Structures are given as C-alpha cells and as structure tokens.
Structure 1
Amino acid sequence: MTLADTAAELRRLHTAPELLQVVNVWDVVSATAVAALPQTRAIATASHSIAATFGYPDGEQIPVELMLDMCGRIARAVDVPVSADLEAGYGDAGDTVRRAIGEGIAGANLEDQLKPLADSVAAVTAAVAAAEAEGVPFALNARTDAFLRGRERPLEVNVADAIERGRAYLDAGATSVFVPGIFGEEVVAELVAGIGELKVTLIGLPGVPAPARLQELGVARVSYGPTTQRVALGALQDLATSLYDGGVLPEGIRPLN
C-alpha cells in the first residue's frame, strides 16, 4: 500500500460512522504495542510525549528534525496510518508537512495557538498545498486552541470562536477540526452543529463524554494526548515503589518489547 492509499484510508476513517479512536504513542515500542491490538485502525503521536521522551518541554522546544525522525520511525514500524502531532508547524507549516510526508506520515494535527485567524488559515492553506504537491490526500486535523488558550473568556465566546475557526479551516482544506478542552454534551453538540457532523475531533479527558456518546453526537475522532504516556509512567513509578517496599514483580508480564 502506498502512502497515498494509507492517507486516503485515514481520511475515510474520519468520515466513517464509527468513531475513530486513536491512542497516542511516543516511540516505536509504544506504537507497536498499540498497533498490535486488533481494534487499532490508526494511531497518533503526541508531541508533548515525544518531547518529554527526549527531555524537552512541550511547545515546539524540541528540534523539528528530532520530532520528525521519531514520527518517521513510528510510521515505518506499524502497518496502520499514523497521524503526527506537528504542533503549530515549527515555523513553516507547509515545509513541516512536506517533510512529515517524506517520513511516511499520513495525517497530522496543526494547532493555531489562537493566533489571528488570517494567520492560522494561511498555515492550514500552506499545509494542504504541500500535501497536494506531494500527491498525498493528507488527513489534516486542524486544531483550534479556542478553549485551551481562552480559559478567561465566557464559554459562549469560546464556542463561537471555535466554530468560526473550524469552518475557516475546513474551507481551507482541512479534513477535520480538533477542539481540545473539557466540556460536556451540550457544548459538543453545539460544536458539531456549527462545524459539521463527522468534522469535529476531541480529546478524551475526565469530564468529556465517553466514546460511545461522542459517536452518537456525531464526533469524528477522539484522541488522548500525553495522558497515555502519563498512565504508563505512573504504572512504572508505582511498580518501582512496590519493589523498593519489598514487593516482587507481578505474574503475567507480557513481553511487549
């Protein structure tokens, strides 16, 4: 299967009636562990988690070459489509998407950091154009930080801003619109009504409706960001604490590495 075929499949998964769940990974072994599950149809990288793996803070502090290299290693290690978290594009959204495609990436998140709408649309347009130039139907999941960076604003302002930005990103060629935040069914329904059915993607966090309900509400995709790595690290820390306290390794450890 060519990368164009893989990207087309990732786009199809975003529009299928069944909610697309992507469990975020951060290196090759986490990716292969998730990809081995029969339920896995696609996976996504978490930029926060990859940065942490190399000792960098979140927020485009990691060198783009290092981020893309890890994304490429992940893509080459699995047989399912990989959506990469490319943050805000590392200063050049078009070139970063072009380089990601060269690494075998089928889609990506691209965040707006709540920059002026015209600038954000220009970044989406550049990313879409770069993918088209490579002949890949890239699944661009354009992220708006209306809620993450608009915490001091009234809820209705954030909803309206997310809808305005989401529509603009879709008009610029994005496949879907990622609206991370913690909100309930009413807000989810407003976002779907305003942006479009099977066009909204969310992050699964405590307080966000369960996947089955998100599917009923017309959401396209749910991902989990850096929380998957935090769960893994928490389990490691708990095991270490148990061993330090005189415990032993549990039975049934799976040789996943």
Structure 2
Amino acid sequence: MGTIAARTAEFRRLHEAGCFVMPNPWDVGSARLLAGMGFAALATTSAGFAWTTGKPDNTLTLDEALAHLQLVAAATHAPLNADFQNGYALDPGDLVENVTRACGTGIAGLSIEDYSGDPAAPLLEFDFAVERIRAARAAIDDSGTGVVLTARTEGFVWDQPDLDEAIRRLVAFAEAGADCLYVPRITSHHDVAAVVSAVAPKPVNLLVNKPFITAAQAAELGVRRISTGGVLARTAWKAFLAAAGELARDGTVSGFVDLPDVDALLSAP
C-alpha cells in the first residue's frame, strides 16, 4: 500500500465485507503508534486535533484542517479517513471546492455531516442536506481519486435522538451517492441493527465512544466499520489533567506512571 491510490483501493476493499476497527489518532505521533498496532485503517478526529492547537472543536479553519490531513495521511501507510465535519461550507458549490481540495491531501475517505452550525437548529433542512451529499459525490467523482464518501447525520449528537429521521436521512444520502452511512452517538443494539438494515447493502460506520458494545457484537449486527471519534484523545487528556491537577493542587506526583518506550515505538519501521 505504498501509493495513495493503493491505500484508497484497500480502504474500499475493507468496506466490502466483514468488520474492521478504524481508531482516531489526533496527530502524527498517535497515528504512527496506532498504525504500528496493526489497525487496518485510521481516521482523523476534528475534536482531538483542535485540542492540540489549543482550540475547541468546530473552530478550526479549512486550511488548518487540510494541512492536518496531509500530515497525518503521509505519516503511515494505513488508509486515512477524514473527519471533514460539514465540509467547512454550507453552500454546495463551496462544498465541492473544499472536498476537491481534501481529495488532494492523500486521504482515502472523508465524511460530510448535516450539522448546520447552529446548536438551536442543528440539522440542515432535509433536501438541502441531500443536495450537499450529491455535491460531495460529484466532487469526488470529478477528482478521480476514488475517495470513500461517508454521510453522517448529527441528530443524536445534538440531543435530537430521532431514529426514524436519522434513517430517513441516511437512506436519502445513500441514494445521493454516499458509500458509507453513519449516525454518531447511537448506543443501543436495536438502533444499530435498524440502521444497518435500513441502508443495506451499503456499509455502516458505528461510533464506539463508550462501552456499550464490543467489536464482535457490532460485527454480528452487520456493522462494517467501527470508529472511536475523539475518545482516545479524551482518554489521553484525562490522564494528563489528572496528573497535572494533582501536581498543581497537592504538589504530589502519585499519578505519574511508567510508560512504554515511546521513542522505540516511533522508531519502528
């Protein structure tokens, strides 16, 4: 998988059968370590990356995101899926331009969501959301890269957990050309099975950001791809904040732990 084209072809192959785990590194170092563990593919996390820059999630610019994608895609031979949020644009024409630029960074896939940017009315109007997926599909096709397009609907993320509406959107996104479908934050086996059934035979990505399911159980339900979102970054930040907080508060370091030889891990071929 030395070339970008080969990695993209491999990423497409992974979506054809079975179930694979695609964890989310937040920088080049974490990407290389995860790839060294043997994961078949990786995905970026907008939140995890934003925190490394000292910013909250959803505040990075398009240029910052594209530069990050290029760095992480070049860091390993593993196919990389981009958390491309809402495409850093609402207008379908602008979305086409941004997706085209993303396809030139070396990624093997990207996701486009239907978040409006307004927490008070978080979901874009249905027909407009579908039009945007159709625009992203056209941009990828015109790029000739074969990048895998994932369409995601954000109702469960923004406290609008309407499974019927989520499925309605995913079915329409699939018809508009999405290769993979995704409802982040569904957490019941029933909901997972319902989504898989509704969009079949298209593959489904499942976010596992808390212990509600195992990889084996997800595979039994027909999930094709498992991602972790920002949870690995959150786990790292939790340990950092706990240890630093103890030092600041008490002047003690009981939270400090022995680590593996990270230098050796990063030096491995």
TM normalised by structure 1 equals 0.89
Q: CA deviation at 1:190?
A: 1.2
204-213 vs 84-93, which deviates more? 204-213
Q: CA deviation at 1:240?
A: 3.8
1:173-252 correspondence runs (5 A)? 173-197=177-201, 199-206=203-210, 208-240=212-244, 244-247=251-254, 250=258, 252=260
Relative to structure 1, is the Cα distance of residues 7 and 30 closer, same or farther in structure 2, using a 3 angstrom cutoff?
same
Contact 1:93 1:124 in 2 (8 A): no
Q: CA deviation at 1:55?
A: 2.0
The DSSP-based 3-state class of the residue aligned with 2:13 is helix
Residue aligning to 1:49: 48
Q: CA deviation at 1:2?
A: 3.6
Q: CA deviation at 1:204?
A: 0.2
Q: CA deviation at 1:164?
A: 1.2
Contact 1:175 1:199 in 2 (8 A): yes
1:82-97 correspondence runs (5 A)? 82-91=80-89, 92-97=94-99
Residue aligning to 2:8: 7
Deviations 1:2-57 (A, max 9, x none): 4233222212212221x12111011111111111112x110000011111211222
1:132 equivalenced with 2:134 (yes/no): no
Residue aligning to 1:75: 73
Residue aligning to 1:148: 157
Relative to structure 1, is the Cα distance of residues 246 and 170 closer, same or farther in structure 2, using a 3 angstrom cutoff?
closer
Structure 2 CA distance, aligned partners of 1:251 and 1:99? Answer: 39
Q: CA deviation at 1:185?
A: 1.0
Contact 1:198 1:219 in 2 (8 A): no
Contact 1:197 1:220 in 2 (8 A): no
2:9 partner letter: A
Structure 1 CA distance, aligned partners of 2:223 and 2:84? Answer: 22
Contact 1:197 1:219 in 2 (8 A): no
Residue aligning to 2:25: 25
The DSSP-based 3-state class of the residue aligned with 2:193 is helix
Contact 1:198 1:220 in 2 (8 A): no
Structure 1 CA distance, aligned partners of 2:167 and 2:211? Answer: 21
Contact 1:128 1:138 in 2 (8 A): no
1:222 partner letter: I
Mark the runs of 5 or more structure 2 residues left unpaired by the alignment.
116-122
Contact 1:184 1:207 in 2 (8 A): no
Residue aligning to 1:103: 105
Structure 2 CA distance, aligned partners of 1:165 and 1:35? Answer: 33
Deviations 1:75-96 (A, max 9, x none): 0111011001010001132222
2:169 partner letter: R
Contact 1:49 1:229 in 2 (8 A): yes
Residue aligning to 1:58: 57
Cα-Cα RMSD:
2.0
Deviations 1:217-253 (A, max 9, x none): 0011111111110111222234445764145652644
Relative to structure 1, is the Cα distance of residues 85 and 194 closer, same or farther in structure 2, using a 3 angstrom cutoff?
same
